[in-house]
Amino acid sequence: METKNYAASIQLPDTDLVFRNIRNAKRFAIDIGGSLTKIAYYSTVSHRKVLYNADKDSTTSVDGDEYHYESSETERLHFVKFETKYIEHWLDFIRNHLIQSRESMVGKSIKATGGGAYKYAELIQQKLGLMVEKEDEIGSLIKGCNFLLRNIPDEQFSYDRHGDPEYRFINTEPSIFPYLLVNIGSGVSIMKVEADDKYERIGGTSMGGGTFWGLGSLLTKARGFDELLHLASEGDHRNVDLLVKDIYGGDYSALGLTGGIIASSFGKAMHHGHTKTDDTPGFSEADIARSLLFTVSNDIGQIASLYAMLHGLKRVYFGGYFLRNHPVSMHTISFAINYWSRGGVQALFLRHEGYLGAIGAFLRGAEECDTEKYSWGENYAGSSGLQSPLPHPAVGGWPGGTIDQLEMDRCDQQLTFFPLLANPGEYKPDAVDLTKDKEARDYWLSCFESSLGSFVNRAISSQPNSPDSQERANKFRDKYLQRLRNLKNHPFAYGNLTVRSLLDMREHCLNEFDFPDPYLLQKKMENEHALKLLKDHLSMIDGLEYGCRQEALVRGVLAGNVFDWGAKEVVQLMEKGLGFKEAADKLQARPWLHDDLDAWIERQQKVPYKCAVIFLDNSGCDVVLGIIPFARELLGRGTRVILCANSKPALNDVTAEELVVLMKQVALLCPVLGKHLEDGTLCIRESGHASPCLDLSRLPQTLVEELVDWKCDLVVVEGMGRAVHTNLLTSFTCDSLKLAVIKNRWLAQRLGGEMFSVMCKYEAGTRKEEQTSKFPKIS
Amino acid sequence: MPGERKKGARRASDAVAREGDTSQASERSKNDAERSVNKGEGGVGDGSEETLPTTNGHTEPPPKTIKVTAGEMNGATSHHPAQDPTPPMPWFGMDIGGTLTKLVYFEPTDLSEAEEESEVETIKNIRRYLKSNKAYGETGHRDAHLQMESVCVGNRIGTLHFIRFPTSEMCQFLELCKSKGMASLASTICATGGGAYKFEEGFQREMNLTLHKFDELDSLISGIEYIEDNNMDSECYYFLNPRSPNLCQKITYDFSNPYPFLVVNIGSGVSILAVDGPDDYRRVSGTSLGGGTFLGLCCLLTGCNTFEEAIELAANGNNENIDKLVRDIYGGDYERFGLSGDIVACSFGHMNSAEKRANVSREDLACATLITITNNIGSIARMVAANEKIEKVLFVGNFLRVNPISMKLLSHAMEFWSEGKLKAIFLEHEGYFGAVGCLLELMKTGEQTTSSSTTTSG
């Protein structure tokens, strides 16, 4: 049955090569710095995708005709960083791998920025046949910065070398403006950014990366910026700098200056007015390099904080080659900012700081990236993490080493904040931050690693007729394993480490190796099974008196939620065959772990809601026997219901597309629901997600507008991924109901319960009125 | 009361008067300006004790109007000699900094015959020794040109002498004091600066002297106010046309209406204070990039040994061989952001090139270092002034000694980047205010000190 549906030939991306998918590159930009060059390109990636023939008459058919695989294109941005000294090799590499001949490039252009844009213009033109168009450096930086802040949730972080964790990622607020951008290149430019097109250079200093590099080259034998940084990391500045305690013998407590504070940089390097003695100096070249690094970083931090205070700005982002996420420099700058602003200004760094210029230059006039129309997301499978460059063998004239890259996939919509969050500025989806919680981190990393085998098997069996599925599945395994192991040492590599990021990373890796929907058959089978039970289930429900019915509906959702292929222990049960009644019996006895059932039932006695949005979880019993009856009850009371499902597959979660097909079948079984579907009082919407979790700061703009128009006053979030791993602690301006069954023994115990503990959390909205007019938008 | 500080009261009517004052002052000080500044930046000796005409030091200057309160005047005549609770002579104020120690010595010139007779030989010896020399040992110097005559301290009239030596020579200094019999004279010396804490034990051990420690910023502010009051006609000055070698003029600044003002004290490091009124100041900022950084880097880069040498090298160098200017990057001005091509875009920016490193001179290196440090201090001072909404910025400290390059750079930077709002003001007694303030503190503690000294000397 699969053979005929299997798309014939998909050109897989060159998964283990740098400059992935370069043959499909459509557009280029380059940022050439003194030591590092960044290339940005846009490509389309072919993916196998399941398409449903929703318009087909034979919607009742259950034997596989209603969907087929098709090859579909998705848009991707690639950013690759390499040392400028290898620029010629890489340009050759790109030329040799482009599908189009060099001649076809003639007349096309490449956007270029950075100090080397002019120097290498001719080389680029000669190698690639592209016209070089220079882009303003500062304008590019700001455009790149805005793009990253809007599209990568954990882009910004504060750094504290002595902190645990060292990296604290800051959530993006609905408005990213205003901010100060301090670009530390050779010199330092300081920009005040108030809107996309409103920014000015308000100052700067000539003491920047070039000063560190230049003075360092004069004072030490280190050659090159990196060598100098390395030298600095081994030195002790106290041998070169005059400290407060060298002058005072201790602290200068009247001014609150502790003895360790530097009173005079390089103050110990001076000879004291008489001819030099034979004494060797009390410091080494490493000490000098360290002192120099401190001198420059401190100074930049101080000047940046003065500008921030003068302009009343609290957020200061740092970019440019000087920092390069180097811990000592970030630490010194953070310290200086905090010290001089007395805590009033925060130094923030960007995970992809090195790419700002390249991204900005690329975005200039790139219509397909129109940030008004689309949002982008980081692809974990194709991106190297913070301080986790990917090892790579030699290519062409490049001797091999590590590669830093970032890949971003285009979402089909513009995403924005859920309009009914109580504190959108402080919204963090995840309940537990694994970067902070070592015990939880260790558990989840090993849990994901140990369950990897079953995912590999599932992936292979989902494409039984594909000759290379085994090979691809192995590649998937290797890639995900490499990521998991790197995260053990660098939990901060992709922002906050969370169960969500681990789940999403697995989905990204599966997709990367062309396993777009390993649970396709399973979902289909379970839906069919559940549909058979629906009619009787609905009659049973309808036979109950009001109060009992409300309880039965909630219990139905919970029983349905047991059917989760993401939960290892449940998978074992399901593989043996698990019935809906059996599942209901597994549920914890009341009182539940969190039990607001009575409050919810009481609320159901009062005025009906105007509009409810339900974020769905699994296919099969979950949606059919749990959610559909629950929604039907709301509809019966005159509430408009929006069923919000994943845009793309993740585990056995129902997708919006599948739901459309499914609801047509439901409509035949229950004409009342069919009528609601027809009238639009029951509708199906995409969540914009391809994840088992839910990030309420990234919902489709169109959905958000509807929620506002329809005066949505109830949000129902269902399942472990959406209501426990994420959003457990989120409060809303409207009423909310969070329903989930905890199907992980470790997590259940940690929350103070047992396996199959029930989370039933009903909360009244923080604001009853005026919840509709204003809603935040990422601007 | 003619001498009383009435700065607040004079403020309202000052604006018009000062215009006139300034132009007169510029006339008056034209000669001064030509003598000490217009030799250009190459004039390293300018203002130093060796090259300056030392008339002040050796001939009696015309009597000055001494700005003291009527009360003080009365005191000086009626209470004299000393029933006053003033401490016993000799009177010193000492500021032990990270690099230099500054010593202010008050020589009474109103000694009565009786006093002179009763004065112990040791005191006379010390006075003679200090007065007859301009250099002490290898590294001590007396800045004779700064000497102030006929000033009133502790109700006595006399001369203030200004002496400095490297803090690293503290041991030798203590030896010298011992050999001159200081230990037998007084029990207390007033000192400020970090060294007052660091060397306290040494003073106690070597000379049986208790250091009376005062806060260095309190001392600095009271010193500035005292000197400015006593040397009103010529203490403060600024530069007109600081960038022009031909038109640059040093002009006396009328500082009679001072508040609020910023003090940027550039010693080894830099402290920045906002002064809102008498005895009302805050330390608002500072930086570790100061004179010590300049000298330390210069020593490493050029092998020079002294501040004077470093300044002389700098005066003969060209930073354009070292620094990357805006035009080196943009080929001209960076018009989009209004940056002129000759602005330094990156200090030492050319020095990552081995080729360029091979072709630079010691002079160029010293020059770039001086400009880097000075511009940085200027930037920070300017930003602090903007944050504090203060327009007058006083630059003091020994970094400015024999250093017209920095003073002119600071003058230009303040004016240019603030679009004329800020004014850089300099003071003749650059680095000695802490020591002077300290001497004044000594007077306030007279009673206590007298009693203790009686017991010791008795």
Residue spans per domain, chain A: 6-144+355-411, 182-188+205-235+284-349, 431-512, 520-763
Look at A201 and B97 and tell me if their CB atoms are within 8 Å: no
Alpha helices in B317-445 (DSSP H): 326-330, 354-358, 362-388, 404-417, 433-444
Look at B268 and A247 and tell me if their CB atoms are within 8 Å: yes
Nearest C-alpha of chain B: how many angstroms from A334? 16
Q: How confident is the model at residue B29 (pLDDT cuts 50, 70, 90)?
A: very low
Q: Is B445 on the interface with A (CB under 8 A)?
A: no
Q: How confident is the model at residue A230 (pLDDT cuts 50, 70, 90)?
A: very high
pLDDT value at position A249?
83
Per-residue pLDDT of B128-140, as tens digits, reads 888 888 888 888 8
- Nearest in space to A592 (alpha carbons), one of A710, A754, A470: A754
Closest-CA residue of A relative to B167 is: A272
CA distance A380 to A232: 32
Pairwise pLDDT comparison (B253 vs A55), residue with the higher score: B253
Using the Cα atoms of residue A53, residue A55, residue A57 and residue A62 in order, give the sign of their dihedral: positive
CA distance A408 to A406: 7
Which residues in chain A have their CB less than 8 angstroms from residue B370's CB? none
Q: Is B376 on the interface with A (CB under 8 A)?
A: yes
Look at A263 and B379 and tell me if their CB atoms are within 8 Å: no
Residue B50 reports pLDDT greater than 80: no
- Nearest in space to B291 (alpha carbons), one of B99, B28, B160: B99
Burial class for A378, CB neighbours closer than 10 Å (0-12, 13-18, 19+): buried
Distance linking the first and last C-alpha atoms of chain B: 41
Interface test with A, best of B270, B294, B300, B422 (most A CBs within 10 A): B300
CA distance A772 to B413: 53
Give 3-state DSSP helix, strand, coil % of chain A, rounded to 5. 40, 20, 35
Mean pLDDT score of chain A, rounded to an integer? 89
Interface test with A, best of B288, B301, B307, B374 (most A CBs within 10 A): B288
Q: What's the CATH fold of domain A6-144+355-411?
A: Nucleotidyltransferase; domain 5 (3.30.420)
* Sequence-separated (6 or more) residues with CB below 8 Å from residue B422: B382, B385, B391, B392, B393, B414, B415
Which residues in chain A have their CB less than 8 angstroms from residue B297's CB? 215, 266, 269
Q: Is B401 on the interface with A (CB under 8 A)?
A: no
| 3 state SS of B29 | coil
CA A262 to chain CA mean position, Å = 40
Structure token digits, residue B402: 């024999």
Which residues in chain B have their CB less than 8 angstroms from residue A302's CB? 285, 287, 380
Look at A267 and B372 and tell me if their CB atoms are within 8 Å: no
CATH class of A431-512: mainly alpha
Task: Provide the chain B residues 264-303 that lie in CB contact (below 8 A) with chain A.
Answer: 267-269, 283, 285, 287-293, 295-301, 303
Task: Provide the chain B residues 161-190 that lie in CB contact (below 8 A) with chain A.
Answer: 166, 168-169
pLDDT value at position A665?
95
Closest-CA residue of B relative to A200 is: B337
Burial class for B372, CB neighbours closer than 10 Å (0-12, 13-18, 19+): buried
Burial class for B246, CB neighbours closer than 10 Å (0-12, 13-18, 19+): exposed
Which residues in chain B have their CB less than 8 angstroms from residue A228's CB? none
Nearest C-alpha of chain B: how many angstroms from A299? 8
Q: By the 8 A CB rule, do A39 and A29 touch?
A: yes
CA distance A359 to A376: 13
Nearest C-alpha of chain A: how many angstroms from B377? 10
Structure token digits, residue A706: 């509807």
Q: By the 8 A CB rule, do A701 and A673 touch?
A: no
Residue A148 reports pLDDT greater than 90: yes
Look at B376 and A274 and tell me if their CB atoms are within 8 Å: no
Q: What's the CATH fold of domain A520-763?
A: Rossmann fold (3.40.50)
Q: Please give the single-letter amino acid code of residue A45.
A: V
Nearest C-alpha of chain A: how many angstroms from B98? 5
- Nearest in space to B144 (alpha carbons), one of B238, B231, B48: B48
Burial class for A227, CB neighbours closer than 10 Å (0-12, 13-18, 19+): middle
Q: By the 8 A CB rule, do A556 and A626 touch?
A: yes
Residue B142 reports pLDDT greater than 90: yes
Residue B287 reports pLDDT greater than 50: yes
Closest-CA residue of B relative to A305 is: B383
β-pair partners for A385: A388
Q: What is the mean pLDDT of residues A546-566?
A: 95
Look at B288 and A295 and tell me if their CB atoms are within 8 Å: yes
Q: Supply the DSSP symbol for A280.
A: P
Task: Pick A247's closest partner by Cβ from B198, B304, B305.
Answer: B198
Structure token digits, residue B69: 């309160």
**What is the DSSP secondary-structure string of A629-680?**
HHHHHHHHTT-EEEEEEBSS--TTBPBHHHHHHHHHHHHHH-HHHHHHHHHT
On the question of a common fold for A6-144+355-411 and A520-763, the answer reads no
Q: By the 8 A CB rule, do A411 and A376 touch?
A: yes
CA distance A261 to A244: 6
Lowest-confidence region among A98-112, A322-336, A702-716: A98-112
Interface test with B, best of A221, A272, A285, A313 (most B CBs within 10 A): A272
Look at B301 and A219 and tell me if their CB atoms are within 8 Å: yes
Q: What is the mean pLDDT of residues A177-196?
A: 94
Nearest C-alpha of chain B: how many angstroms from A210? 5
Nearest C-alpha of chain B: how many angstroms from A310? 5
Closest-CA residue of A relative to B343 is: A206
Closest-CA residue of B relative to A119 is: B329
Q: By the 8 A CB rule, do B185 and B120 touch?
A: yes
CA distance A441 to A419: 31
Interface test with A, best of B293, B308, B320, B377 (most A CBs within 10 A): B293
Q: Supply the DSSP symbol for A430.
A: B
Which single residue is written with the structure tokens 């579907």?
A677
Mean pLDDT score of chain B, rounded to an integer? 79
Per-residue pLDDT of A239-258, as tens digits, reads 999 999 988 888 887 777 88
Look at A272 and B166 and tell me if their CB atoms are within 8 Å: yes
Q: Supply the DSSP symbol for A388.
A: B
pLDDT value at position B279?
83
Which single residue is written with the structure tokens 């038109």?
B247
Within 10 angstroms of residue A198's Cβ, the number of other Cβ atoms is: 11
CA distance A235 to A238: 9
* Sequence-separated (6 or more) residues with CB below 8 Å from residue A85: none
* Sequence-separated (6 or more) residues with CB below 8 Å from residue A540: A552
Q: Is B365 on the interface with A (CB under 8 A)?
A: yes
Q: Please give the single-letter amino acid code of residue A146.
A: N
| 3 state SS of A381 | coil
Q: By the 8 A CB rule, do B287 and B380 touch?
A: yes
Within 10 angstroms of residue A365's Cβ, the number of other Cβ atoms is: 11
Which residues in chain A have their CB less than 8 angstroms from residue B376's CB? 205, 207, 299
Look at B288 and A241 and tell me if their CB atoms are within 8 Å: yes
Look at B357 and A217 and tell me if their CB atoms are within 8 Å: yes
Which residues in chain A have their CB less than 8 angstroms from residue B304's CB? 271
Q: Give yes or no for a cis peptide into A700 (omega within 30° of 0).
A: no
Mind telling me the catalytic residues of B? 216
**What is the DSSP secondary-structure string of A565-634?**
TT-HHHHHHHHH---HHHHHHHSPPSSPSEE-HHHHHHHHTSSPPSEEEEE--BTTHIIIIIIHHHHHHH
Pairwise pLDDT comparison (A47 vs B315), residue with the higher score: B315
Look at A211 and B386 and tell me if their CB atoms are within 8 Å: no
Per-residue pLDDT of A5-36, as tens digits, reads 444 444 444 545 678 888 778 889 999 987 78
**What is the DSSP secondary-structure string of A27-57?**
EEEEEE-SSEEEEEEEEEEEEEEEEE-TT-S
pLDDT value at position B272?
97
HSE toward the beta carbon, residue A750, CA cutoff 13 A: 16
pTM: 0.85
- The β-bridge relationship of strands B210-213 and B188-192 is parallel
- Nearest in space to A304 (alpha carbons), one of A338, A263, A261: A338
Q: Which CA distances in Å does A3 have to A71, A465, A468?
A: 15, 6, 14
Q: What is the mean pLDDT of residues B388-408?
A: 96
Q: By the 8 A CB rule, do B217 and B428 touch?
A: no
Nearest C-alpha of chain B: how many angstroms from A187? 5
pLDDT value at position A652?
94
Look at A211 and B372 and tell me if their CB atoms are within 8 Å: yes
Nearest C-alpha of chain A: how many angstroms from B312? 14
Within 10 angstroms of residue B30's Cβ, the number of other Cβ atoms is: 14
Q: What is the mean pLDDT of residues B260-276?
A: 96
pLDDT value at position B455?
32
CA distance A697 to A689: 11
Nearest C-alpha of chain B: how many angstroms from A27? 27
Within 10 angstroms of residue B55's Cβ, the number of other Cβ atoms is: 11
Look at B168 and A214 and tell me if their CB atoms are within 8 Å: no
Look at B293 and A266 and tell me if their CB atoms are within 8 Å: yes
Interface test with B, best of A255, A266, A280, A283 (most B CBs within 10 A): A266
Look at A217 and B387 and tell me if their CB atoms are within 8 Å: no
Compute, in degrees rounded to 10, the torsion defined by CA atoms B34, B40, B41, B46: -30
Question: In which region does residue B153 sit, left (phi positive, over 0), alpha (psi from -120 to 50) or beta (all else)?
Answer: beta
Q: Please give the single-letter amino acid code of residue B123.
A: I
Using the Cα atoms of residue A517, residue A521, residue A522 and residue A526 in order, give the sign of their dihedral: positive
Nearest C-alpha of chain B: how many angstroms from A742? 55
Q: What are the start-end ranges of the E strands in B220-295? A: 236-240, 249-252, 261-266, 270-277, 280-287
| 3 state SS of B266 | strand
Which residues in chain B have their CB less than 8 angstroms from residue A268's CB? 296
pLDDT value at position A368?
66
Look at A205 and B97 and tell me if their CB atoms are within 8 Å: no
pLDDT value at position B68?
32
Look at B293 and A265 and tell me if their CB atoms are within 8 Å: yes
Q: How confident is the model at residue A54 (pLDDT cuts 50, 70, 90)?
A: low
Burial class for B416, CB neighbours closer than 10 Å (0-12, 13-18, 19+): middle
Residue A104 reports pLDDT greater than 80: no
Look at A272 and B350 and tell me if their CB atoms are within 8 Å: no
Q: What's the CATH fold of domain A182-188+205-235+284-349?
A: Nucleotidyltransferase; domain 5 (3.30.420)
